[in-house]
């Protein structure tokens, strides 16, 4: 008969009987307890391990239920015989390799462009509305919802888009989804993977990753000071193009009306599509807002993309697209089989937030706040970095690019800043050729930083770079 002496932990959250069960399973699978061996009687094992008989009984019942041991009438419990090949990899020896990403130490000041100001997020209002969404009368929200997203929220979005961006659409055309990347992967299926997709170079790394991972043909298109080069686009044989006309990511130019018209003409002639990513159009610091491309399009060639990640919070994961009629028909025919990816509770909370006017108030408040931060940033750059840098794309949004006229490479600029506790971001990762490698440009987001942090951050960059 076998002797077993497991180490059991009385303070563990795991009940003793489970600890004993797991120990015996491992011993059986690893071959330390052999097939056909008889287990000690409950009484014997309980006294050997100073456990109650009930604990041993529960462990034996579990082992029996899972087939690790079998009972023979009037003889006791015996270990099941496993085929040798099944035992060749004892469980405890299985190599468990969790890929570990090198964890960076926290920077004192992080100019990350994906962060927003959380200090001014209306927590108590959001909390009150979240509770409201959870109330009994809203119990229906616990079922699956409309695959396109809650109609009430889509209607609120339509209203907002018309007033603020000149987007002309109906709620039926709006499809909500958990993030721009998810929406773009859905779009690849909808438009077709046989098409060629063009995008801005440099352009948003995360969108380009989706195109590549969806296996579609891609064409990077260079930019000039007005945005994407339509001549190169025409020559590219692409029939779909992804652009960020209101605030090019990452270089920040705002596409003027002429270039917009050229782009629309291209799409019309090509019978192609423009994916217009209007990710942070709420914030503009110079000039009047330029209406969306979608609002200028009379031929159903523009797919408009928006997100609540910049103007509200990124963790809510609510983004959306507005489909032109032709694609909408295809979506309704083939894609409503995909369930909605955003929680109905969050959608409902956001709807209430918009209905009660909190959204517009929040956007207005943040506009003033970001304008102040933006001014502080530009002034600090002028004061501390002067002619050593040129600010690129400063008319809108929550980030700028610094073109640095020193001898440091991009990597050296990032590393030297990091040594001083400041995180700035390389631009080259957004390029599809090695042009970015030869430039000394870095990306600075300022959304989450206070004015004091912005000023201190730029002063520290002076120390790091001008030493």
Ligand X SMILES: Cc1ncc(COP(=O)(O)O)c(C=O)c1O
Contacts of 151 (CB under 8 A, 6+ apart): 171
Q: Where are the beta strands (DSSP E) in 125-255?
A: 174-177, 196-201, 217-224, 227-228, 240-243
Q: Which is nearer to ligand X, 21 or 113 (CB)?
A: 113
Confirm or reject binding of residue 340 to ligand X (CB under 6 A).
no
CB proximity list for 324: less than 8 A, separation 6 or greater: 173, 273, 297, 300, 301, 302, 303
181 makes contact with ligand X (CB under 6 A) = yes
Q: How far is the CB of 70 from ligand X (least distance, A)?
A: 54
**Segment interacting with ligand X (CB under 6 A) among 93-101, 175-183, 194-202, 292-300:** 175-183
294 touches ligand X by CB under 6 A: no
Q: Under the criterion CB under 6 A, does residue 204 sit at the interface with ligand X? A: yes
C-beta neighbour count of 4 within 10 angstroms: 15
Give the per-residue SS3 of 352-377: HHHHCCHHHHHHHHHHHHHHHHHHHH
319 binds ligand X (CB under 6 A): yes
Among 307, 352, 376, 420, binds ligand X (CB under 6 A): 307
Cβ count near 86 (within 10 Å): 8
Q: How far apart are CA 380 and CA 450, in angstroms?
A: 13
- Between 6 and 314, whose beta carbon lies closer to ligand X? 314
Nearer to ligand X, 90 or 220 (CB): 220
DSSP 284: B
Report in angstroms how near the CB of residue 432 gets to ligand X at its nearest: 15
Can residue 244 be called a binding residue for ligand X (CB under 6 A)?
yes
CB of 405 to ligand X, least distance (A): 26
Of 154-162, 177-185, 286-294, 457-465, the window that binds ligand X (rule: CB under 6 A) is 177-185
Query: Could you give the 3-state DSSP secondary structure of residue 401?
Result: strand
- The residue (of 55 and 113) whose beta carbon lies closer to ligand X is 113
Q: Is 28 exposed, middle or buried (0-12, 13-18, 19+ CB in 10 A)?
A: buried
For residues 55 and 46, is the Cβ–Cβ distance under 8 A? yes
- Contact flag: residue 341 with ligand X (CB under 6 A): no
Question: 414: cis peptide before it, omega within 30°?
Answer: no
The correct pick among 229, 276, 277, 453 for binding ligand X (CB under 6 A) is: 277
Q: Which residues 39-98 are close enough to bind ligand X by CB under 6 A?
A: none
Q: Does residue 144 contact residue 340 with C-beta atoms inside 8 Å? A: yes
Ramachandran class of 77: left when φ > 0, alpha when ψ lies in -120 to 50, beta otherwise: beta
- State both tokens at 127: 């909390």
Indicate which single residue of 179, 289, 300, 421 sits in contact with ligand X (rule: CB under 6 A). Answer: 179
- Confirm or reject binding of residue 249 to ligand X (CB under 6 A): yes
- Total residues binding ligand X (CB under 6 A): 13
Nearer to ligand X, 29 or 302 (CB): 302
Binding of ligand X by 180 (CB under 6 A): yes
Print burial letters for 421-440: b (CB count within 10 Å at least 16), e (below 16). bbbbbbbbebbbeeebeebb
Stretch that binds ligand X, among 130-138, 154-162, 176-184, 363-371 (CB under 6 A): 176-184
Please report whether residue 279 would count as binding ligand X according to CB under 6 A. yes
Site for ligand X in 251-270 (CB under 6 A): none
Q: Is 431 in the site for ligand X (CB under 6 A)?
A: no
Q: How far is the CB of 342 from ligand X (least distance, A)?
A: 11
To ligand X, the closest distance from the beta carbon of 247 in angstroms equals 8
Q: Is 260 exposed, middle or buried (0-12, 13-18, 19+ CB in 10 A)?
A: buried
- Interface residues with ligand X (CB under 6 A) are 114, 179-181, 204, 244, 249, 277, 279, 307, 309, 314, 319
């Amino acid at each position: 008969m076998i002797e077993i002496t497991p180490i059991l932990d009385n303070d563990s959250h795991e009940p003793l009987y489970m600890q004993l069960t797991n120990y015996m399973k491992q011993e059986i699978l690893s071959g330390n307890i052999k097939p056909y061996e008889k287990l000690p009687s409950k009484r014997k094992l309980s006294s050997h391990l100073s456990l109650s008989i009930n604990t041993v009984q529960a462990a034996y019942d579990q082992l029996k239920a899972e087939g690790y041991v079998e009972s023979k009438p009037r003889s006791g419990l015996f270990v099941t015989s496993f085929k040798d090949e099944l035992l060749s990899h004892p469980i405890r020896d299985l190599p468990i390799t969790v890929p570990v990403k090198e964890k960076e130490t926290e920077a004192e000041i992080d100019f990350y462009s994906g962060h927003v100001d959380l200090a001014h997020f209306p927590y108590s209002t959001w909390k009150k509305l979240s509770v409201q969404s959870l109330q009994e009368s809203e119990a229906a929200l616990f079922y699956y919802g409309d695959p396109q997203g809650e109609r009430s929220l889509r209607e609120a979005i339509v209203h907002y888009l018309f007033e603020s961006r000149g987007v002309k659409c109906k709620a039926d055309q709006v499809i909500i989804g958990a993030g721009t990347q998810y929406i773009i992967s859905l779009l690849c299926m909808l438009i077709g993977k046989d098409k060629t997709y063009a995008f801005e170079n440099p352009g948003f790394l995360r969108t380009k990753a989706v195109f590549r991972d969806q296996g579609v043909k891609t064409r990077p298109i260079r930019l000039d000071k007005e945005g994407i080069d339509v001549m190169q686009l025409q020559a590219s044989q692409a029939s779909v193009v992804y652009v960020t006309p209101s605030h090019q990511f990452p270089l920040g130019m705002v596409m003027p009306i002429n270039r917009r018209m050229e782009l629309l003409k291209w799409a019309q002639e090509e019978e192609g599509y423009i994916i217009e990513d209007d990710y942070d159009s709420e914030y503009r610091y110079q000039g009047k807002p330029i209406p969306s491309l979608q609002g200028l399009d009379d031929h159903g060639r523009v797919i408009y993309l928006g997100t609540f990640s910049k103007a509200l919070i990124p963790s809510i994961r609510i983004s959306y697209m507005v489909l032109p009629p032709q694609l909408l028909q295809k979506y309704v025919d083939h894609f409503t089989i995909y369930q909605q990816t955003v929680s109905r509770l969050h959608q409902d909370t956001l709807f209430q937030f918009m209905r009660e006017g909190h959204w517009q108030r929040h956007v207005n408040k943040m506009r003033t706040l970001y304008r102040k931060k933006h001014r502080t940033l530009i002034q600090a750059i002028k004061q501390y970095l002067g002619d050593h840098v040129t600010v690129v794309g400063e008319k809108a949004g929550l980030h700028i690019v610094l073109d640095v006229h020193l001898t440091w490479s991009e990597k050296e600029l990032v590393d030297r800043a990091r040594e001083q506790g400041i995180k700035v971001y390389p631009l080259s990762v957004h390029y599809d050729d090695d042009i970015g490698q030869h430039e000394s440009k870095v990306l600075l987001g300022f959304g989450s930083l206070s004015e004091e942090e912005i000023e201190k951050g730029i002063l520290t960059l002076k120390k790091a770079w001008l030493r």
